[in-house]
Structure 1
Amino acid sequence: MGSERPILLVAAAALVDGDGRVLVQRRPAGKPMAGLWEFPGGKVEAGETPEGALIRELHEELGIDVEQACLAPAVFASEPLGERHLLLLLFALRKWRGVVNARHADALKWVRPVELHRLDMPPADRPLIGLIEALI
């Protein structure tokens, strides 16, 4: 057994528009991994389900409302992250209410899944790209 690290549970969404493009957001200056493109979402707080956390985060970050039934579990990543171990749960989302806007990120971009390979993304997000391409 290796050294045990606390788990950081994060739920994120691959929002897919009618043209098959996926939404990514750029982390703002002053945040860890600033300037990297990521899928919107965030940390699952104590007492929250991953779906509940993601619904909350998407409202806070993008100003959209999401029904839990529209969140389809897609892929996950498991990656060391400093003193903790990141478990990233990625859901696919094709239906939401409201207009997507950047409330916490410094930019948003809709890209085809194949274009994700050219973006600077956090290490945990990179292995998900091929799986997303296969799903969409």
Structure 2
Amino acid sequence: MAYIHDVKYYETDQMGIVHHSNYIRWFEEARMDFLTKIGYPYDKMEEMGILSPVLAVSSTYKSVIKFGERVEIETKVISFNGIKLILGYEIKKLDSKDITTVGESEHCFVNEQFRPVNMKKLNKDFYEAVVSNLE
């Protein structure tokens, strides 16, 4: 699923390019958009007493992005076993479709006491919505 982001001036550094820390924020924006599109916005998850902390995140930068450019962030489900979810991201410049960045984030699902929960058992509809997007 694709998410569009307009690069803001404050996201750039002194060299006029997007600072590397912002890509992690963009992954989060794309992840929140993905959850909304499958019918489970994060606030709905929290209302259910489910949290999804980040376990790991990585990114590889292939080319620069500058202020004023628009990017498309494609979010893909790499794996999901009900407890651990790994998402992949591919950032492309909207005008050229050139891939600028690839990355992954790894998450788990826990209750409010931070005990792991199995979404396959707890919420089968959510589990199936995520699995239906497996690459």
User: Do both proteins adopt the same fold according to a TM-score greater than 0.5, normalized to the shorter chain?
Assistant: no
TM-score by length of 2: 0.21
The structure with the larger Rg is 2
Larger RCO, structures 1/2 (Cα 8 Å, 6+ apart):
1
